[in-house]
Structure 1
C-alpha cells in the first residue's frame, strides 16, 4: 500500500534553526546598534531559516528584524534630535 502522507514541507534542519536564532539576535541588535545593517542581516537570516524548513519561526525572525530596524531608527532619530 502506498504511503498516504505526502508532505511538501521540508524537514527542519539544525542549520535552519541556527539561521532563525541568529535572525532574532540580529533583530535585537538592530534596536540598539546600526539598525539598517543589523535589520537587513536579520531579515535575510530569517528568510533563509524559513526557506530551509523552520517555517513559522523563520518568518517571525524576519518580521522581528524589520520591526527592530524601524524601532532602532526611530530611537536614533529621537536621541539625535534631543
Structure 2
C-alpha cells in the first residue's frame, strides 16, 4: 500500500504563526481597515496553507475575505447613516 502522506508538507511553526496572524487580520478587517487587513489576511492564510497548515490556512484566507466584505458593508452603512 502506498503512503499517501509522502507528498504533504509537515506543519511548521511558521505556518501556524501565519495562520494565526491571518485570523487576527480577518477580525481587524471588520473594524479597522477592510481592504488592507483583508488582503494581508488572505496572503498570510495562503502562505500558511502552502507551508503545511492546510485546513486552517485556507479557513483563515476565507475568513479574511469574509471580514473584508463585512467591514466594507459596515463602513458603507455607517457612512450613509
Would you say same fold, with TM above 0.5? yes
The CA RMSD measured in Å over matched residues stands at 1.3
Aligned equivalent of 1:10: 9
Structure 2: gaps spanning 5 or more residues: none
Residue-pair matches, total: 80
TM-score (norm. length: structure 1): 0.93
Aligned equivalent of 2:43: 44
Mapping 1:3-82, distance limit 5 Å: 4-5=2-3, 7-82=6-81
Bigger Rg over Cα? 1
TM-score (norm. length: structure 2): 0.95
